[in-house]
Structure 1
Amino acid sequence: MQDGNAAAVSADEKISGSREKGLNRVLEILEFLHTTQRAIGIGDLAKGVNAPRSTTYTLVRSLVDAGLLEMAGDGNRVYFGKKLYLYGMDYVRGNDLLRRGRQEVDNLSRETGETSELCMLQSGRYTIVHSSPGTRPFRISSATGLQIPLPWTASGRLLLAGFQQAQIEDMVSEDDLVLPDGRRLLLGDFIADIAKAEATGYCVTSGLVDAYTKCLAAPVFSGPGRVEATMCLVVPIDTSEERTGSLIGLLRDRAARLSIAG
């Protein structure tokens, strides 16, 4: 009898383990598509998530049947489906900060003529959750959903305010410290910048992501000392100090509107 119970428990554990592995594969597929930002062939997808092609094909077919993924183009490539879009809209409607933040970002962009963004921390990356382009003839590009290493941005320095040094060291890899032009930031300098941004209540970075822009960011608080998000403006690097100061003041005011407490 005991042997029978042990066998049943072992079978249940195998089923549970198989389901967990399958779920992990699904999450890897979704994350890979998000990172890739384009439809991709199932063979390339299997290589990207380091999974057998047959397993990947089976999971993709199930996700397509559920409406979470869709076949694109010639039917040999796959990307996110409409149901995920609907789930995302449900999230926006149910998230008060994001709903109000989108409005503030759009208003700020119209008011200043500059590219405006609402950013949050997601999976150890600075993530643009909403952006609104400016009205300049030469528009500064910004893409909702884009994830960037934290040390590259003004927002990253504010989003990590209040984190312990050991936590920051765990979140920032050596590759994160290498800028797009090959320059390398020092981790100690980045940590010092975080402390300075926390103390001043805003942050400005120039020429980190590219040589043409600077980023102004202000924190949005979800409670005393807890930075939930940032509002930021991406402006030309030659923006005057006077205008930069004016924009920082406006940015801090709008971020304070969103904050629950600060």
Structure 2
Amino acid sequence: MQGRQTLKKPAAGNVGERMARSRNTGTPGNTDHQTQPAAPPKDEAANAPRSRTGAIDRVLQILDGLQHANRPMTAYEIAQTAGAPASTMYTIINDLVDKSLLTRAADGTIWFGPRLYRYGLTYAHSLDYLAIAAEEMQRLSADVEETVQICGREDGMMIVLQMAEGPGHFRVTSRVGSRVPINWAASGRLLVGHLDDGEREDFFRRYGQPSPTGLAETRPDVLSRIAQESFAARFALQIGESEASVACLASPVCNVGGECVITISIVMPENKAKQGIDRYSAAVRDAAARIEDRLGWRAGA
């Protein structure tokens, strides 16, 4: 009959196999657990965005490495600098080259690509204060016939944002995009001059570094005091601290909140700076004030 056929006794060998499987798994009698696939990890969904973020981090390591080196590098050098697997970096670099974010020279070295330059131009054009600062930079350079720079802060570094070279033979090693530790430069001290006493001292303790000339101040408390005094005077001077026989005279450009956003500075030979300190300090202060006036950042502007 149909009912009796469904109750057919399984073969002894099959029962033995089932018992063996039960002993191996610790699951008494029930074999359904043996055929079900393993459940996916609970954080499987979280792994996807983490992987994407990792790729972005690798891209930033490549770009930051090139900026820090300030020269073209081989893919192997970039990987070594980032401490990343070479195969991973090669793949990412090839993708970035294909998309014109990086370029590869005939010798195989890697550098920033034209697409990054276009992005940078678009960003710069959106910043009115840099456009106005550039005009005043050119005006100041023509007035004093010296190299003038616009500088900003990037973490613990001072970065040259714009530069107008003077007409003479004097040339400075820092170019647009150059970065130096913030305690080496007159502009660097001004860029943190608006911070509270504790913040300034903590900042210099974290980021201060000895300079190649050995003349840069590194004591956090002293740097904090100098930064405060320079900011209050709207003028900072450094001579030979980052580069021998080179002087920098800087003035802060502050927003309506009193924060130093950028600086404008004259970079010139040490002997000329000492001989004309009054003239040059007044000129750089006036240039900073004009930028603030044009942006409506000065009181009563």
TM-score scaled by length of structure 1: 0.90
Q: Deviations over 1:103-152 (max 9, x none)?
A: 21122112211110000011221110011111223334430110011111
Query: Which of 70, 93, 111 in structure 2 is aligned with 1:79?
Result: 111
Q: Distance in 1 between the 2:274 and 2:133 partners?
A: 26
Alignment-derived partner of residue 139 in structure 1: 171
- The percent identity for this pair of structures is 29
TM-score scaled by length of structure 2: 0.79
Say whether residues 1:156 and 2:209 are aligned partners: no
Q: Which runs of 5+ in 2 are unaligned?
A: 1-36
Q: Distance in 2 between the 1:27 and 1:169 partners?
A: 29
Alignment-derived partner of residue 220 in structure 1: 253
Say whether residues 1:40 and 2:73 are aligned partners: yes
Q: Distance in 2 between the 1:66 and 1:12 partners?
A: 29
Alignment-derived partner of residue 5 in structure 2: none
Q: Which runs of 5+ in 1 are unaligned?
A: none
Query: What are the equivalent positions in structure 2 for 1:78-117 lying under 5 Å apart?
Result: 78-117=110-149
Alignment-derived partner of residue 240 in structure 2: 207
Structure 1 stretch displaced more, 150-159 or 185-194: 185-194
Structure 1 stretch displaced more, 131-140 or 108-117: 131-140
Q: 1:33 to 1:14 in 2, by over 3 A?
A: same
Q: Distance in 1 between the 2:174 and 2:239 partners?
A: 16
Q: Deviations over 1:48-105 (max 9, x none)?
A: 101001110111112112211111123x221110000111111121110111111211
Say whether residues 1:18 and 2:51 are aligned partners: yes
CA-based RMSD:
2.1
2:255 counterpart letter in structure 1: S
Q: 1:52 to 1:192 in 2, by over 3 A?
A: same
Question: How many pairs does the alignment contain?
Answer: 257
Say whether residues 1:261 and 2:294 are aligned partners: no
Alignment-derived partner of residue 233 in structure 1: 266
Q: Distance in 2 between the 1:240 and 1:70 partners?
A: 41
Partners of 2:193 and 2:200 within 8 A in 1:
no
